[in-house]
A and B are shown apart, each in its own frame.
Chain A
Amino acid sequence: MWIERKVLAQEIPAAAALDTRQLCETLAALGFPVDGVATLEGTESLDVDITANRGDAMSHRGIARELAAKLQQPLAPIATGAVSEGEALVPVRLEAEACPIYATAVLELGEGITPEAVQSFLRALEASPKRLPAVDASNELLLRYGHPTHAFDADAIRGAVSVRWAKAGETLATLDGVTRTLTECDLVIADEAGPIALAGVMGGDGTKVTEATRRVLLESAWFEPKVVRATARRHSLHTDASHRFGRGADPAMARVARDLLVARLQAWCQAKLIGAWTAGAVPAPSAPVELGLALLARVAGEAVPLAAAQEALSRLGCVVTAAGDRLCVVPPTWRHDLAIAEDLAEEVLRLRGYEHIPSVLPPMEGPPEHLAPGYLLRQRVARRLAHLGFHQTVTYGFVSPEADALFAGPDNPAAGRTLANPLGYEYSVLRASLLPSLKATAEQNLRQGSRQVQLFELAPTYRSTPAGPREQVTLAAVWGGLLGGEDYLSPARAVLEADLAGLARDLELPGLPTIHRLADGLFGFEIELDALPRPQDRIIPVFRPFSRFPAVERDLSLLVDLGQSYAALHQAMGAALPADSLLELRCVDVFRHKSLPEGQQAWLLRMRFQADRTLVGDEVDGWVAAALAAAESLGAKLRA
């Protein structure tokens, strides 16, 4: 909220002596940081950030009250004219507890417009003056004292006025020109013909003050914050008045604000007071709050003398009585946020200044807990992938229904994962797979000129269940573009499915995941993290002895059909070899060339043998012959 320094100084003269920086620092230390300073209408104004719990501070008077308590300087008295109340000219019936007090007056307006100084104040605070004194005075009072008031055209009101719950289906055309259908939860001001204002939110169009208005009926009331908030929300009608009432106005200000309004109209346009009266009364203060010294010392980090706490709370307007080691505190009528002992402790600390809080490391009361295996696994996988050249991405958890459908299984309907109020269609479904997001990101990187794209993401994916979307942390990796070719030793080639398979092995995935071809030369896989082996509990695995005798390596070059299954061949050859001496059997080269018989390819199979003795050549030759025979049984031939 913008606070004009000149007007602030009228409320607390001592503030005039502070330079802007001191004033900003003092306000920040009180919990009201200043977001900006500007010169508006020739005077300096501060943009003060006021938290939602401090409705009482949302005015020049409110900020002045805080400064007065902190600086221990007096506030200027509120200059109300002497308005003597009399008989009600129009009956005002309070029919709902949500409105305990309703102060009003009827005035006959004379000639005159809003003084230039007030117009300039309103302009500075971005409240455009209407040049209708009754309206401008109400706006000025709101900004200055924080109490919303309203002026009705008294001649437009038919019969008695009541504050009551609306009847379902009743309508009201509000000042903004919208006709609103009301519910039984809306509190209204009504005359005998129906609602004339939404209580604490906005007046009605039919009773508004215009240049033709001769007589006004003023309203200065107090409405239950919850009720005002609900009505403002229900009608999407957030006004300055609903903002103040919704955060809790001061019921004791009802009469004061009415008197101030009367005095302004008398001064500005020679208005004649016809009568003033009040329905209801300021509600009794809520039960006192107790603050024990032990709790205060615990919160503050050191003992605070009872007298000091009592004095601080009194400065804030609390009525404080000391009883033994505790204070009995009745908060002032404007503070609705002081409900428990901790609230009061905060106030004492706030006035002392948070800079006085000591700095202490909390003592350990029990042993620290380990990091969870799932968390450690994610850290390990992310680091491994980054070391392998992959870049970790962070993409939104929601995607378009089309993107989602690409990888969502038929048993995972999007309906159970769809947002009721998405940011847009393209962000409307909680994703079943990370691959659509990674595909889009990879393609974007390739378009931006990357030769090679290597991305991974660790994030939840969602599965529809009757109880709601079930989350599972998922790992997805995509790889595409060109490998190598960037130095004199590494030839260039396209990334292939086999590269993803190698990656899957490196990560010790159980089995080969489905490798998706996402686009030309772009591949990816995805796996739920739970499927990965957990880091072992052992720091070092159990020792397994290994042979110190030399290993023997033999290669077999085999001609096989193009359709030959490697798994079958590997299985057959492996079965023919002695399990206790075979270290490894693997294809180390695939050769396809027009020099080979049509429909055939050459596989180079390497066997490594090792045993707890020196292997004899004849013995190894026999094994190799057996492996060859096994291969031949599948149609392979030894390549000449």
Chain B
Amino acid sequence: MDQLLPPEIVEAGQTFPAALAACGDLDALLRLKGAFVGREASYATRLMELLKIAPKEQKRELGAAINGLKQQWEEGLKARQAELEATKRKLGALAAAWDPALPPPQPPCGALHPLNRLMDRLVDVFRPMGFHVEEGPEVETEAHNFDGLNIPEDHPAKASSDTFYLAAHPELLLRTHTSPVQVRTLLRVAPELAARGGIRFLAPGRVYRKDEIDPTHSPMFHQVEGMLVGHGIGMQHLKGTLEYALRALFGPDTEIRLRPSYFPFVEPGCEVDVSCPLCGAKGCRVCKGSGWVEILGAGLIHPNVLAYAGIDPNEWSGWAFGMGVERMAMMLSQTPDLRLFFENDQRFLKAMGGLD
């Protein structure tokens, strides 16, 4: 039969399966399709022209051969097209698919400073008991920082070796504790104390003492002061409030312990220990095996402090406490070096402060 066909077409027909397989995409397939079965200048059109001019007796046989060839080509093209379309769909589906393991865009995440976060937490704990926040300036007068707090005139804390003073204003200093906020607040509310039914507040803030910078000292640190003034307030109320607050902070099984101590602005005075929140009072490195950790100093407000503010200590009484924020933060986090809190490395802030 082949002798009836032009040799180049016979050759093309023989290479057709390989050419079909070599078509990597639909465009290549279309070009191949055009060359073999296209309406113009394709092998198929040339064969049809050949058939037209073929001698009558050959027409039947040639026609059958040409049809067979065309059919073979068209079927091959169709099958290959289906194959290529399926591949394309599959790739399309793969491209559209999402791999959840690929790292996604991360929404930004900063952090509050751990010391601020701890102070905020303390405010949260005391809010339900009716405490609000009082604040005062960091540059204070000697009167507010010392005199109003029953601190004797010749107390060593007043020395320039302990307290920062302003060069141009010798009467001004950087407050050495948050207690001057007590004095300011009591002075302010004294005239309306009866009408408002006493006062209870927290005073968180920065304080300054002339300490060299080392792993356990800083010339600036934070305190939270708490104070309550009312009628008939005694040590039982201090204990009750602190027990509630420290259990809210450290867990319901927390025990507290009051020990006698001395601060000029309270009488009686005490140190307050909590059962070690890190080991559950079993004894560890933090509580030095004792099961207790010292957490704050407190006491009943000294009558002289009330009297200084113009409040009659025979009618009113109250309690106050002061807590070192860094000390508590270091204890809870077991941070080995106080300076980390003031270096503000983002890694430290993110890990220790975070965001609620």
Which residues of A approach B to under 8 Å, CB–CB? 28-31, 33, 51-54, 226, 229-230, 233, 297-302, 340, 342-343, 345-346, 349-350, 354-355, 357-372, 375, 379, 382-383, 385-397, 415-423, 427, 430, 441, 444-445, 448, 450, 453-455, 459-460, 462, 464, 468-469, 471, 486-490
Is the pair B241, A471 in contact by a Cβ cutoff of 8 Å?
A: no
Out of A350, A366, A389, name the residue touching B198 (CB < 8 Å).
A366
- Report yes or no: B109 in contact with A389, Cβ–Cβ below 8 A: yes
Taken together as a complex, chains A and B put the C-alpha atoms of A272 and B199 apart, in Å, by 68
- A52 CA to B269 CA, complexed, in Å: 13
Chain A residues near B106: list those with CB within 8 A.
486-487
Report the separation of the CA atoms of residues A531 and B204 in the bound assembly, to the nearest whole angstrom: 23
Contacts of A226 in B (CB 8 A): 154
The residue on A at minimum CB distance from B270 is A354
Which residue in chain A gives the minimum CB-CB distance to B341?
A394
Contact A362 B239 (CB under 8 A): no
Q: Hey, which chain B residues are within 8 Å of A421, CB to CB? A: 160-161, 164-165, 210
A345 adjacent to B343 (CB under 8 Å): no
Q: A350–B166 contact, CB under 8 A?
A: no
Q: Which B residues are in CB contact (< 8 Å) with A361?
A: 129, 237, 240-241, 244
B147 at the interface (CB under 8 A from A): no
Which residues of chain A come closer than 8 Å to B135, judged between CB atoms? 372, 375
CB atoms of A366 and B197 under 8 A apart: yes
Query: In the bound complex, what is the Cα–Cα distance between A556 and B102 (angstroms)?
Result: 38
Pair count A-B, CB < 8 A: 255
Return A140 CB to nearest CB of chain B, in Å: 27
| B344 x A455 contact (CB < 8 A) | yes
In the bound complex, residues from chain B placing their C-beta under 8 Å from that of A488 are 102-103
- In the assembly, what is the distance between CA of A300 and CA of B237, in Å? 10
Which residues of chain B (68-122) have a CB below 8 Å from chain A?
Answer: 102-106, 108-113, 115-116, 120
In the assembled complex, the CB of B313 is this many whole angstroms from the nearest CB of chain A, namely 9
Q: Chain B's nearest CB lies how many Å from the CB of A470?
A: 9
Q: State whether A299 and B115 are in contact (beta carbons under 8 Å apart), knowing that A233-B159, A366-B198, A369-B201 are contacts in the complex.
A: no
* Distance between A294 CB and nearest chain B CB, rounded to angstroms: 9
Query: In the bound complex, do residue B237 and residue A423 qualify as a contact, i.e. CB atoms below 8 Å apart?
Result: no
Complex interface bits, B120-143 against A, C-beta within 8 A gives 1, otherwise 0: 100000000111110101110000
Question: CA separation between A526 and B289, bound complex, in Å?
Answer: 48
- Point out the residues of chain A lying under 8 angstroms from B243, CB to CB: 359
Closest to B131 in A: A368
Interface residue from A51, A368, A393 paired with B113 (Cβ < 8 Å): A393
| Bound form: Cα–Cα A503–B129 in Å | 37
Residue interface bits B256-288, CB-to-A below 8 A is 1, else 0: 011111100001111100000000000000000
Question: Which A residue sits closest to B264, measured CB to CB?
Answer: A53
Chain A residue nearest to B267 (CB atoms) is: A342
- Contact: A468 with B237, CB < 8 Å? no
Asked if A362 and B109 make an inter-chain contact with CB atoms under 8 angstroms apart, the answer reads no
B234 adjacent to A299 (CB under 8 Å)? yes
Across the interface, do A368 and B154 meet the contact criterion of CB distance under 8 Å? no
| 8 Å CB contact of B353 from A372, A392, A427 | A392
Which residues of the other chain, A, contact B191 by a CB distance below 8 angstroms? none
Indicate if the CB atoms of B167 and A448 lie closer than 8 Å: no
Whether A392 contacts B349 by the Cβ 8 Å rule is yes
Q: Does B355 contact A (CB under 8 A)?
A: yes
Task: State the CA gap A357–B165 with chains docked (Å).
Answer: 41
Nearest CB in chain A: distance from B233 CB, A? 6
A387 to B130, CA, bound (A): 29
Q: How far is A395 from B333 in the complex, measured between Cα atoms in Å?
A: 20
Is B56 in the interface zone, CB < 8 Å from A? no
9 additional A-B residue pairs with CB within 8 Å, beyond A357-B235, A391-B350, A459-B206: A31-B261, A53-B262, A302-B236, A367-B197, A386-B109, A387-B355, A415-B167, A453-B346, A469-B166
CA distance A489 to B106 in the complex (A): 10
Which residues of chain B are within 8 angstroms of A343 by Cβ–Cβ distance? Answer: 267
- Tell me whether B262 and A52 are in contact (CB under 8 A): yes
Tell me how far the C-beta of A42 lies from the nearest C-beta in chain B, rounded to whole angstroms.
24
Cα distance, A372 to B131, chains bound together (Å)? 12
Interface residues of B in 236-259 (CB under 8 A from A): 236-237, 239-241, 243-244, 257-259
CB distance B349 to A355 under 8 Å?
A: no
Give chain A residues whose Cβ lies under 8 Å from the Cβ of B223: none
Given A387-B355, A487-B104: A448 and B166 within 8 A (CB)?
Answer: no
Are B164 and A422 in contact (CB-based, < 8 A)?
yes
B123 CB, nearest partner CB in chain A, Å: 8
**B177 within 8 A of partner (CB):** no
* From A33, A52, A369, residue with most partner B Cβ within 10 Å: A369
Chain B contacts of A460 at CB under 8 A? 137-138
Measured CB to CB, the nearest residue on chain B to A225 is B154
With a cutoff of 8 Å between Cβ atoms, the chain A residues found around residue B345 in the complex are 444-445, 448
CB-defined contacts of B302 to chain A, threshold 8 Å: 342
Which single member of B105, B132, B260 contacts A346 (CB below 8 Å)? Answer: B260
Enumerate chain B residues within 8 angstroms of A29, measured Cβ to Cβ. Answer: 259-260
The reply to whether the CB of B317 lies closer than 8 angstroms to some CB of chain A is: yes
Q: Are A387 and B198 in contact (CB under 8 A)?
A: no
B348 to chain A minimum Cβ distance, whole angstroms, is 9
Q: Can you list, as one digit per residue, whether each of B167-206 has a CB less than 8 Å from chain A (1) or not (0)?
A: 1111010100000000000000000000111111100001
